[in-house]
Structure 1
């Protein structure tokens, strides 16, 4: 593993991908057994290991190391309804592990761009895409700061957990719909989910871990806008 000054360099994609592979296992999310991901089985060890390798404290939680309920629901919905995805250019906001981006490609998308501000998430997405033999492009650019362009399907998996982020995402996807895009959202109605704004397309009972959630089964839905 390549390091800078004895530490893992988050800008070195090869080194980060090696770190992820070494500290996770290839597992299939319970609701989406067709897809394999490099996932952590516990949150604290992978979080501590990330801080140790980076030589920093208070690094962001390793969202990329888990298949969250909203993402699993959204991935399942796309695989079961490929007609909503096939032939489209797709943007995956807040890609995390890349689960929904991979599911979109498997459902027949022409292209998928996965965006995340966490470089570990982008590395995990690239690693997981290769594991599933699909091609997903990635970017760390904050696309929420601009106008939606070039995408006719936008995916939002479990992003309504912080107020400021939820407000930015909502503004962005509403602008995208005004430009003709379809938006699919996987979310168990987190704290800042904008209730009453979206149409419920499907409900799922998603097996999760109590280490991350408040129950072993998390009720999650797929919502659509546009």
Structure 2
């Protein structure tokens, strides 16, 4: 009987000891609902005007191709300008930063057009009869003339011309106006300055002008988008000289 009691007593001690050394199971924290952020309220005329200025600036910047800004830094810039704090950039540095990011955004915005132009020019220069100059200007002789040739960029010339985009849309034509134009070779786009000097009077050439020799990253008016490769048919009627 004593033996049985002793065995039960030892077992009870062992169970009690295990229960005391066993690590308690950690309880999962009870999730608490985050306090809702109150919507911004426009309580005064200044509040409304401030918000209006913000949306106006944001909408304007977005049209340039920018997709995001560092809003905290943008607000700091606004505050520093208004409060007279020391500016982190001088006017020249600020303009350089703006120009760089705007150029990058604009290039991204017109990436498909840039790639289309690049592909076209790569394929076009392989065509029989098409020649490419060191600048990237491509041209094709439609009619070879035997008259005088411009010799300097200060020469004045008389030409007929027609200009189209890669999609075939015509944006200008002296033929349609029924009157040729006179200009000095340093008063036109680089593609014309270089190209017309290759021609003899009486010639008619077809020029394929990359955007770097045309209207560049900005384009021209509503008819010539930024980064446009342009196609011109130019007929050199007369070299007037200086």
Task: Say yes or no: TM over 0.5.
Answer: no
TM-score under structure 2 length normalisation: 0.24
Structure with greater proportional helix content: 2
Larger Cα-atom Rg: 2
TM-score under structure 1 length normalisation: 0.25
